[in-house]
């Protein structure tokens, strides 16, 4: 009996067809899934991708923070099929990367913001000659800081890297940069979906929040560089979206598996993901208890499923690290805690000072931390190796729109306080995700401080919280009230776009001017 269009067919015929047309079915399912994504979300994602590619063109190669080490890791992974083993202080760039590193004057540029990138055809010819002469990919993948990181981003980066094997270092690095821009598009897409789920009133404001994220210059700068942070931002946005769904629609087996998968991906992406773990576990636990309306063993069934899904690939990676790859099970190098002497009181003071002004009656542990100088200025924009900055007055002037956004946010929160009370558990989970990340960054920095090798106070580490930044913008728009909402929302997007454009011009002036 012939099947009518749309009718299901069963039995052996199905098995045969499934085997032969599975890729077509997958493609069709992917197209259907994409069609379910609102057009506005896709457009906002496209904006982020286009903007990221522009940043990838304007910023000279290897001038996004830590790019040489991420290139080095990817190169090793492509050539050896495994992440690099620790090499202590014996990190070695390949001949080809060394040639590019030297001729592009990576070190000199990073150290001297007053100097331009390549400016003469003479330098370009030397670069081309050296890249043609030194093609060796014999580095040990362990140069600088990336080596202790998990391999997932680098596995993805291996695809564009391999596509560029016929070219030179510059081609391969730029192709990896393009991967990052795609990830940034995914991040903005997920931020949009998070806003739609978490703040369902006033759909127009979702676009404002998502575009505000897409045009955030620090995010755009990172998205134009080869850096695993970009995958971390995507996973973090996915986690916020997952919990927004769970708290609105309930915890199901599929959603628990989804959260577990995100935890696994995050763990395999970057060590900083550990900061989001407490919030994710709390979220699963709270959602499980809510689902059962009581604290009983059964409430832990779905959270346990999520944890199990997360644990399996993480355990596998740890086992491979120890048994096959000669690496620490989790974290090494700058992340090591062995042999480091900590002091509880010093640690607590360090954590405080990392984000907040030092207390007047307490001795300062470290100098140089300042909420304004590190976090605010950094978020407004410090690009490249944190050496490309706006004139000081720009940061001071930026306080005005930030203050207005905060005031509007306050107004929205007061106006919607009843809804806030009803969603306290959900807010607690978002807060735990944020607090965990903040604590992790501060602790990682304290670990470096205790080893006497500096700190890790970089605003890019906060960008996994971009979903919350989008929510702040969306709420600020709502805080303006129905009458002023279109004006405030539009002004915020124009401001964000202008901020982005001037960030790009700053890069142009610093490197090419």
Closest CB 498 distance from another protein, rounded Å:
5
Closer to another protein by CB, 142 or 475: give it: 475
Q: Is beta strand 382-383 parallel, antiparallel or unpaired with respect to 388-389? A: antiparallel
Closer to another protein by CB, 151 or 489: give it: 489
Determine the Cα–Cα distance for residues 374 and 378; give it in Å rounded to an integer. Answer: 6
In this structure, what token pair is assigned to residue 352?
């405080």
Determine the Cα–Cα distance for residues 133 and 271; give it in Å rounded to an integer. Answer: 37
Q: 140 phi and psi, to 5 degrees?
A: -100, 10
Closer to another protein by CB, 48 or 146: give it: 48
Strands (E), 351-479: 382-383, 388-389
Closest CB 200 distance from another protein, rounded Å:
15
Cα angle: 150, vertex 156, 158; to 5 degrees = 100
Q: Is 270 left (phi over 0), alpha (psi -120 to 50) or beta?
A: beta
Closest CB 196 distance from another protein, rounded Å:
12
Report the chain's terminal Cα–Cα distance, integer Å.
Answer: 73
Residue with the two structure tokens 């919350």: 468
Q: How far is CA 259 from the centre of its chain?
A: 17
Closest CB 440 distance from another protein, rounded Å:
32
Closer to another protein by CB, 146 or 496: give it: 496
DSSP assignment of 425-449 equals: HHHHHHHHHHHHHHHHHHHHHHHHH
Closest CB 508 distance from another protein, rounded Å:
6
98, 138, 156, 165, 258 from 79: Cα distances, Å = 17, 9, 14, 11, 32
Closer to another protein by CB, 106 or 433: give it: 106
- Residues lying near another protein in the complex (CB under 8 A): 40, 43-44, 46-48, 50-51, 53-54, 57-58, 60-61, 103-105, 108-109, 111-112, 114-124, 127, 167, 170-171, 173-175, 203-204, 207-208, 211, 214-215, 485-487, 489-491, 493-495, 497-498, 500-502, 504-505, 508-509, 512-513
Closer to another protein by CB, 171 or 346: give it: 171
Closest CB 327 distance from another protein, rounded Å:
31
Other residues' Cβ atoms within 10 Å of the Cβ of residue 355: 16
Closest CB 491 distance from another protein, rounded Å:
6
Contact 408, 88 (CB under 8 A): no
Determine the Cα–Cα distance for residues 488 and 484; give it in Å rounded to an integer. Answer: 6
Closer to another protein by CB, 209 or 436: give it: 209
Contact 170, 61 (CB under 8 A): yes
Closest CB 211 distance from another protein, rounded Å:
5
Closer to another protein by CB, 404 or 495: give it: 495
Closest CB 215 distance from another protein, rounded Å:
7
Determine the Cα–Cα distance for residues 177 and 225; give it in Å rounded to an integer. Answer: 5
Closer to another protein by CB, 257 or 394: give it: 394
């Amino acid at each position: 009996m012939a099947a009518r269009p749309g009718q299901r067919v069963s039995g052996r015929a199905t098995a045969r067809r499934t085997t032969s047309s599975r890729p077509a079915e997958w493609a069709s399912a992917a197209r259907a899934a994409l069609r379910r994504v609102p057009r506005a979300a896709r457009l906002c994602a496209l904006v982020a991708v286009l903007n990221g590619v522009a940043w990838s063109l304007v910023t000279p190669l290897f001038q996004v923070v830590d790019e040489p080490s991420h290139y080095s890791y990817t190169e090793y992974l492509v050539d050896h099929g495994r992440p690099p083993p620790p090499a202590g202080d014996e990190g070695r760039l390949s001949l080809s990367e060394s040639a590019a590193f030297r001729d592009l004057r990576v070190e000199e540029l990073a150290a001297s913001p007053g100097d331009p990138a390549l400016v003469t055809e003479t330098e370009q010819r030397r670069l081309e000659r050296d890249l043609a002469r030194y093609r060796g990919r014999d580095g040990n993948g362990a140069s600088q800081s990336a080596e202790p990181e998990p391999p997932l981003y680098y596995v993805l980066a291996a695809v564009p890297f391999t596509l560029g094997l016929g070219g030179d270092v510059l081609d391969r690095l730029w192709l990896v940069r393009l991967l990052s821009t795609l990830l940034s598009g995914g991040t903005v897409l997920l931020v949009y979906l998070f806003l739609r789920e978490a703040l369902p009133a006033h759909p127009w404001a979702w676009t404002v929040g998502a575009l505000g994220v897409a045009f955030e210059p620090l995010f755009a700068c990172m998205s134009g560089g080869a850096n695993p942070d970009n995958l971390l931002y995507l996973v973090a946005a996915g986690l916020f979206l997952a919990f927004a769904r769970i708290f609105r629609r309930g915890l199901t087996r599929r959603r628990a598996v989804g959260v577990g998968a995100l935890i696994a991906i995050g763990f395999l992406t970057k060590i900083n993901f550990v900061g989001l773990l407490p919030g994710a576990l709390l979220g699963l636990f709270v959602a499980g208890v809510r689902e059962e309306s009581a604290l009983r063993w059964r409430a832990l069934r779905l959270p346990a499923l999520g944890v199990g899904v997360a644990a399996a690939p993480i355990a596998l990676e740890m086992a491979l690290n120890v048994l096959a790859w000669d690496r620490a099970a989790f974290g090494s190098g700058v992340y090591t805690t062995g042999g480091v002497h900590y002091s509880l009181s010093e640690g607590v003071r360090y954590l405080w000072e990392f984000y907040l002004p030092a207390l007047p009656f307490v001795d300062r542990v470290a100098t140089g931390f300042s909420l304004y100088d590190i976090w605010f200025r950094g978020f407004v924009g410090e690009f490249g190796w944190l050496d490309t900055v706006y004139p000081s007055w720009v940061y001071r002037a930026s306080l005005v729109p930030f203050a207005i956004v905060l005031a509007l946010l306050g107004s929205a929160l007061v106006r919607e306080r009843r809804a806030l009370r009803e969603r306290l558990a959900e807010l607690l989970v978002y807060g735990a995700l944020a607090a965990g990340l903040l604590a992790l960054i501060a602790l990682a920095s304290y670990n470096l401080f205790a080893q006497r090798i500096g700190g890790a106070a970089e605003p890019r580490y906060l960008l996994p919280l971009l979903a919350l930044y989008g929510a702040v913008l969306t709420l600020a728009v709502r805080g303006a009230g129905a009458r002023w909402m279109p004006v405030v929302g539009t002004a915020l997007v124009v401001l964000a776009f202008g901020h982005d454009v001037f960030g790009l011009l700053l890069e142009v002036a610093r490197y090419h001017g």
